[in-house]
Amino acid sequence: PKRARPPLQRTIRCSGRSPNGAVNEFGTCPPYSLTRAGVIMIFSRTCSGCGRRTRSICGDCRNALLAGKVNNVPGAPPGVVYAVAYEGCARQLILGLKYRNERGSARILADVLVHRLNSDQRGADVVTWAPTSSHRRRQRGHDQAELIARAVARQIRRPCRSLLVRESLTSQTGSGRQQRLRGPQFRARGWRGFSHVLVIDDVVTTGATLRAAAQALRMAGVVQVSTVAVAATPAPGSRR
């Protein structure tokens, strides 16, 4: 009789959260076994906000994010609309989405942002996002701003379209403040038929990315552009 072949073992290397260095497709660390019958996964998760064992963010931290008061974040650019400060639970959720492929965080972050939108922003004709660099997208396997924008669009029942092309090759992540102030360059596309566009980004530091995105859309002919971000980066030394 033929000998049964063992199941195919596949392990993906972790970005540094686990002592053994393995991570599965959910961004957690234990290895999983891929068999012909399906995928068997053993994993554990903890809340990004408080460390409590859960399969997602815990209810207490989620409610705190949604109910938290938006104060003026020290160092945030004036005139920029944002939902929360880039610190604590919000920061951990965004980092998990960016670097650990924790895509479930996009829906939670979208909840937080939608909670802060005013009626005018909710009434936009279409939702889009400020795209990251092509290098970052290939490296991460996704664009975190796109995932958040699509989740926001579903909640406010608006279409989501890719209306911006990033023409500068460098990413803002890891850049100094002076380079961030210059911002990336964008080109608008496919905007015809939309007079009010809502542009979403994950984190705002100097506001240059959202300003560049808005400028590209306005120069193309969009009448009204609303720009919002999930979180604003506090000035150095003020982060809690």
Burial class (CB in 10 A: 0-12, 13-18, 19+), 86: buried
Sole residue written with tokens 């015809």 = 192
pLDDT for 3 equals 58
Over the stretch 79-125, which tens digit does the pLDDT of each residue have?
Answer: 778 999 998 889 989 998 998 888 888 999 999 999 999 999 999 99
Query: Per-residue confidence of the chain (240 residues) as pLDDT tens digits?
Result: 555 554 444 433 344 444 344 444 434 343 333 333 344 333 446 776 677 887 667 888 888 787 765 667 877 887 778 999 998 889 989 998 998 888 888 999 999 999 999 999 999 999 999 999 888 888 889 999 999 999 999 999 999 999 999 987 655 555 555 555 567 999 999 999 999 999 999 999 999 999 999 999 999 999 999 999 999 998 876 655
pLDDT for 50 equals 76
Instruction: State the chain's maximal CA–CA distance in angstroms.
Output: 74
Structure tokens at 217: 């859309």
* Spatial separation of the C-alpha atoms in residues 164 and 132, rounded to whole Å: 10
* Spatial separation of the C-alpha atoms in residues 28 and 207, rounded to whole Å: 33
pLDDT for 181 equals 59
User: 74 by DSSP, 3-state: which?
Assistant: coil
The H helix count followed by the E strand count for the chain is 8, 11
pLDDT for 7 equals 46
pLDDT for 14 equals 41
Sole residue written with tokens 């092509």 = 134
Whole-model pTM: value is 0.75
pLDDT for 38 equals 42
- Contact of 149 with 177, CB cutoff 8 Å: no
